[in-house]
Amino acid sequence: MTFKTEKIISLPKILDKRGNLSFFENDKQIPFKIKRTYLINNVPGGEERGGHAFKKSQEFIIALSGSFDVVLSDGEKEIIYSLNRSYQGLYVPNMLWRRLENFSTNSLVLITSSIAYDDNDYIRDFIDFKTLRNEEK
């Protein structure tokens, strides 16, 4: 099952006896222009990050090291994506609720976003999110 709008994207992987290389570019491997990149690390066992939706921001989320789950919700059902490869990421469109959980020790999250940081883009209340989703229909 998927929400149809999100997707796992496999990045190119250039294998080399000196080590592997992967990359992504605006509008090529990922379907938006990157305006911002941020990292999450040092997450204590049992902690969660996220727990909100974005009105406009689209994101691409990679487990650069370790593993964690990205839980997406459309307001009705949840889908869990487990990320644990540095050459694979999850594209998350705007207007899906998302939280990150189940972090392994030493996990390192890389997130690229289609917009600059804007607190007004956050929907932090799940009921508000459901209301806005229903208005979109």
Where do contacts with ligand TYD occur on this chain (CB under 6 A)?
A: 36, 38, 49-50, 52, 117
Min. distance of Cβ 22 from ligand TYD in angstroms?
23
**In whole angstroms, how close is the CB of 67 to ligand TYD at the nearest point?**
17
Residue 13 or 101: the one with the smaller Cβ distance to ligand TYD is 101
CA 57 – CA 98 distance, rounded (Å):
12
What residue is closest to ligand TYD based on CB?
49
* Structure-block tokens of residue 125: 């209340």
Question: Among 13, 36, 49, 52, which one carries the catalytic annotation?
Answer: 52
Instruction: CB nearer to ligand TYD: give 7 or 99.
Output: 99
Kindly report the backbone phi and psi dihedral angles of residue 124, in degrees, each rounded to the nearest multiple of 5, phi listed first: -100, -10
Residue 22, token pair as written in the block: 């992967």
| CA distance linking residue 121 with residue 108, whole number of Å | 24
DSSP state of 25: -
Q: Is residue 52 annotated as a catalytic residue, yes or no?
A: yes
Q: Is residue 115 a contact partner of residue 36, using CB atoms and an 8 Å limit?
A: yes
Q: Which is nearer to ligand TYD, 23 or 117 (CB)?
A: 117
For the CB of residue 86, give the shortest distance to ligand TYD in the complex, in Å: 20
> What is the token pair recorded at 56?
């406009």
What residues are labeled active site?
A: 52
